[in-house]
Amino acid sequence: MKTGSQASFHVKQSTIAQCFSLAASDYQRHDVVQRSTAKHLLNSINASGRLLDLGCGPGTDFSALSGVSDVVAVDIAPGMLNQLGITQPEQIPLCADAQALPLKNDSVALVYSNLALQWCEDLQSAVAEIERVLQPNGECHLAIVGHGSLDELKQLGLRVNDFNHLDRINACFDAQQWQQLTIVCQEFTVFFDELKPLLYSIKGVGASVRATTDNASQQARLRGRQDWQQLTSRAEAIRQPQGLPLTYQIMIVRGKLVGEPCAIL
């Protein structure tokens, strides 16, 4: 039985869809960390069959996965699916919520999701949907933004959403349904020459949604040039040789569903 609580995102899914739709056309100019985590996920996938991309954004190139027969690309934001039609026209677009997928049971061989599931109001429902639509022996490869991410923004006095801890994410999975399941926290740090592109790596991909959570930090409002100058001065204090850092704690989930029960002769 699943136990444990999770950070509750008190924000309408329609608001999330709107924010990401508005960012769709410029998404790939700012998706710095998304490219890093996608590469990490894809390097360990060997599954074959139909792939479901949850929270597909403007699309991911899965051509290196020779065993994949076709891709169903799901996103809650219509604007992202419009971009998908340009970048990956061979993929099957589906505007839907990961927490209530309009797909049949046992209909996909692989579920891939890169930095999308942290926006679910009820992550456990999304995981239950993954378990439902996966075929026996099907695999999931997920990257979820976790607690402790974006600590540099807190140091600058900016608001940061309260993402789920590893144990809360683990509690969403029904262990009896998985023959293999690993959930590890991996740190990803990206660097920027200036503060503005650092902030746009969040805003520019639509991820500046203000979710009200139990422990979300408060945001210092920028009221003019003086506030911006003070913010840039604080940012320079955390500069490293590679540039201004922005650190994410990414929960990497890899699992293989149980197979069909053996027939008794």
Query: Is 235 in a helix, a strand, or coil?
Result: helix
Better-predicted residue by pLDDT, 37 or 5: 37
| pLDDT bucket at 4, cuts 50 / 70 / 90 | very low
Task: Domain of residue 120: give its range.
Answer: 13-148+162-189+249-257
Q: How confident is the model at residue 221 (pLDDT cuts 50, 70, 90)?
A: low
Bridge partners of 255, per DSSP, are: 140, 181
Query: What are residue 200's phi and psi, to 5 degrees?
Result: -75, -15
For residue 69, give the CATH number of its domain.
3.40.50.150
Q: How many domains does the chain have?
A: 1
Copy the structure tokens of residue 42. 């894809």
Angle at 110 between CA 165 and CA 260, to 5 degrees: 100
Has residue 223 been placed in a domain?
no
User: Is residue 118, in this structure, part of any structural domain at all?
Assistant: yes
Q: pLDDT tens, 139-153?
A: 999 999 999 999 999
How far is residue 165's CA from residue 254's CA, in Å, rounded to a whole number?
Answer: 17
Mean pLDDT of 112-118: 97
| CA distance linking residue 135 with residue 143, whole number of Å | 20
Residue 136 included in any domain: yes
> pLDDT at position 203, please?
78
pTM, full prediction: 0.88
Is 104 within the bounds of a domain?
yes
Cα dihedral: 19, 20, 22, 24 (round 10): 170
pLDDT attached to residue 10:
53
